[in-house]
Amino acid sequence: MKKIIALSIALLAFTFSNAQETSKVTKTTKTTTKTVALPKVNGAGMVFVTETIDYGTIAHNADGNRKFEFTNNGNKPLIITNTQGSCGCTVPTTPKEPIAPGAKGVIGVKYATDRVGAFTKTVTVTSNAEGMPSKVLTIKGTILPDPAPATKS
């Protein structure tokens, strides 16, 4: 009888140890980085990293400078002829020199952060880009009011 009990305990111990071994599954994931090729354009091209810049929630009179980065994905130089903000509070800066094929460029924009509240403004870019002579970019965010001064009691 003692042999049967000892054998049963040994068999159960063996079963549980195998059950634990099979439940220990290690999962390995492989991370790969893909470089996405820009579509080529016959002529000048303009592909932006992002077409919307979200300032988020910022302080009153904070730095309002941001940059729209782009690449000329064409086979001819890209010439930006004009950039125009949707109002006087949005001032864009235009690259003066043509952007060579495959080269990157930047369009700067400065928003007047002295205006409190939510905002959504646009910048219209005019260029010789093939099939896209004008492009509308967007900036948005919220400017907080100055904190109220502490009152003396």
Plot region of 102 (φ>0 → left; ψ -120 to 50 → alpha; else → beta): left
Q: Which of 62, 47, 48 is nearest to 141 (CA)?
A: 62
Alpha-carbon span 73 to 40, nearest angstrom: 5
In Å, how far from its chain's centre is CA 113? 22
pTM above 0.85, yes or no: no
Alpha-carbon span 140 to 44, nearest angstrom: 28
The pLDDT tens digits of the residues spanning 23-36 come to 444 344 444 444 45
The pLDDT tens digits of the residues spanning 114-127 come to 999 999 999 999 99
